Each structure stands twice: as C-alpha cells, then as structure tokens.
Amino acid sequence: MRSRDNGVFSVIDLGTNTCLLLVASLVNEKLTTLFEAQETPRIGKGIYDTHKISNEGFEKAREIFEKYKRISDEHNVKEIYAFGTSALRDADNSDEFVDYIKSKTGIEIRVISGNEEAECAYLGAVYDLQEDDYAVVDIGGGSTEISCHESGLLVNESVNIGSVRLTEMFFQNGYSGEAILRALEFINEHLDRLPLSAKGKNLVGVAGTLTTLSAIRQELKEFDIGKVHGDLVTLSEVSEITERLIGMNEQERLSIGSYMNGRSDIIVSGALILRELMKKLESGSVKISARGLRYGLMLKLDAFSKSS
C-alpha cells in the first residue's frame, strides 16, 4: 500500500458476517461519503469448528470483491484498501484466502489486530459527534471491541465474543433456557476483561447488531440510515427487544424487516452481548452510529500505508 494524498478512495471492511464498501473523498482529513454497499458472505460460517474459511466463503468473497472493484473503478478511486478482522485472525487458511482474493481481483487484504479494529471503530463512530467522553462498542460476528479515553490515552480491548461465534457455539438447536444461560456465562467471562474506565461514559454502538436493534425499535420495514444514525436506545428497550426476538421463530424474525436478511439467525446473540455489556458498563442507553470501522479505516489510511 502506498501513502496517499487527497483524493477518492475505497475501503473494504471484510468481517465475519458482512463485507462493507465505503467510497469516499478525503480532503485535508475531511471525509465525504460518495457510495456505500453491504453484502453478507458470512466467511466465518463454521470457522469455529473447522478453523478454516470454507470454499463457499472463498467464492462468495471473490464475487463481492469483484463487484466492489467494478464500483470503485466507476468512481475513479485512486486506490482500494481492504481489511480483514476476526474471521481472518482466527482462520488457519487466512493466508491462502488473502492470496486467492489478490490473485483473482488484484485487491490485497490487510488483516488488522483486535486493538487496531477497536481504535478504528472508535475513530469512525465519533467522527461527527460533538462531545468527547465516549466509550465505543463494536459488536461484530466474531469479536467485540470497546474503546475509550483514559488519562488522555485511547484504551482498546477486543474480546472473542460475536454474534456468529455465539450462535454457532450455543444456539444451533434454538434458544432453550439452558443454552441462553450457558451463553450468558460465556459472555460475562469475556466482558470481565473490558476496561473499567469505560464505566459511566456515554456509550456509542456501531455495526450491524446495533443498527438492526435501532431499526427494530423504530419498527422500520426498510433500513433508513437517516433514522438509525444518532438514535438512542435504552437498556430497557434492548432487554425488551431481546426477549421478543428469543420468543420468535426464524420466519417471524425475518418478517420484521428487509434488513433482517443475513442477520435473523444471529441477532439474538448480538442482542444478548449488547444487553450484558450495557449492564457491565452501567449504561442506561447507547447512541447508535452508522459509521464505525470502515470510516475509521478510511481516516487512518496514511498510518496503514506507512506501516505496510
């Protein structure tokens, strides 16, 4: 990767469940969104049993990267930057996957650490917010990150609990009381590692679990970023929605809205993580940000370029 000047760039954020594209112009560190897209290849499917990305995951990702390359070319971007997170950190065949995508599309994926992911999620989430005393939570498919300032320094923590990981570990056969109790025990064991300095701060949440819960709270049938971004969801609302989702079958969850496609089978796990995290941090509410990791990655392109 080369260091960049002002211009138009693409960032691809390849997660355990989703693959996001952001095309934006950068002028003197000011970011203007030109185009966004989301697909759901779920490359992390089965990874916690096999420790490998499946052949299906390879091909779904290739198709999406080819699509995102075409879109980027249409916007005359100076360069495409792609980043991988939890699934690529976990997979034994991560290097093979990265080589395959590069050979087929010419796009090189950089696998970032949990701390880098947490830092960039923070930068993206607070980019257009005014106050500065925030704790930012990013609940992904394979991991959860939290970041906050402590004594003037940004403190990051990444823990291996995510909506896909939790679903595959505990909920393959539905949401029995016993399965939920085991999942909650697992969640709280990991949440004990979170920085205590995050307690009492204004909580901001990014990624699909958070935006989906906001859309459900507002009873949206179609996802509306204007209504979701900046929405405030209380702990009591998170708890109520979680219990309601647990009581639904798959078809009922899908019928909530079009945004449940690719998320209906993992949203309960994500909601449980959020509920327990809010309790742990003593947060009565969470502000939803539709920005998050891909925006932070865009803002940090120079740093990633220089370290390549």
117-149 pLDDT, tens digit per residue, is: 888 988 888 887 766 678 899 998 888 988 887
* Domain shared by 142 and 57, yes or no: no
pLDDT value of residue 1: 39
* Domain shared by 103 and 168, yes or no: no
Is there a domain that residue 1 lies in? no
* Domain shared by 272 and 184, yes or no: yes
End-to-end CA distance of the chain: 6
pLDDT, one tens digit per residue, over 204-253 is 999 989 999 999 999 999 999 899 999 999 999 999 999 999 999 999 99
* Domain shared by 198 and 105, yes or no: no
Q: For position 196, which CATH number holds?
A: 3.30.420.150
Is there a domain that residue 275 lies in? yes
Integer Cα distance of 100 and 281 in angstroms: 41
| Domain endpoint, select from 112, 140, 169 | 112
Is there a domain that residue 120 lies in? no
pLDDT value of residue 304: 60
Is there a domain that residue 272 lies in? yes
Q: Are 286 and 201 in contact (CB under 8 A)?
A: no
Residue partners of 190: CB distance under 8 A and separation at least 6: 144, 159, 160, 161
pTM of the complete model: 0.85
Is there a domain that residue 258 lies in? yes
DSSP, res 168: H
pLDDT value of residue 132: 67
* Domain shared by 165 and 235, yes or no: yes
Angle separating helix axes 267-280 and 208-217, nearest 10 degrees: 90
pLDDT value of residue 130: 67
* Domain shared by 272 and 189, yes or no: yes
Q: Mean of the per-residue pLDDT values for the chain?
A: 90
* Domain shared by 138 and 197, yes or no: yes
* Domain shared by 107 and 152, yes or no: no
pLDDT value of residue 2: 41
The strand ranges marked E within the chain are 7-14, 19-27, 30-39, 79-84, 109-111, 134-139, 144-150, 153-159, 202-206, 232-234, 285-288
Is there a domain that residue 182 lies in? yes
Q: Are 83 and 297 in contact (CB under 8 A)?
A: yes
Q: For position 83, which CATH number holds?
A: 3.30.420.40
* Domain shared by 233 and 258, yes or no: yes
Q: Which helix (H) or strand (E) holds 178?
A: helix 177-191
Domain range holding 29? 7-112
Residue partners of 25: CB distance under 8 A and separation at least 6: 6, 7, 8, 9, 31, 32, 34
Q: How far is CA 7 from CA 71, 253, 300, in A?
A: 16, 42, 14
Integer Cα distance of 280 and 183 in angstroms: 16
* Domain shared by 252 and 140, yes or no: yes
Amino acid, single-letter form, for residue 167: T
pLDDT value of residue 199: 81
Q: What phi, psi does 219 have (nearest 5°)?
A: 60, 40
pLDDT value of residue 166: 94
* Domain shared by 194 and 75, yes or no: no
Is there a domain that residue 303 lies in? no
* Domain shared by 186 and 265, yes or no: yes
pLDDT < 70 stretches in the chain: 1-5, 130-132, 151, 195-196, 302-308
CA angle (223 as vertex; 218, 228 as ends), nearest 5: 55
Is there a domain that residue 294 lies in? no
Integer Cα distance of 174 and 250 in angstroms: 10
What total number of domains does the chain contain? 2
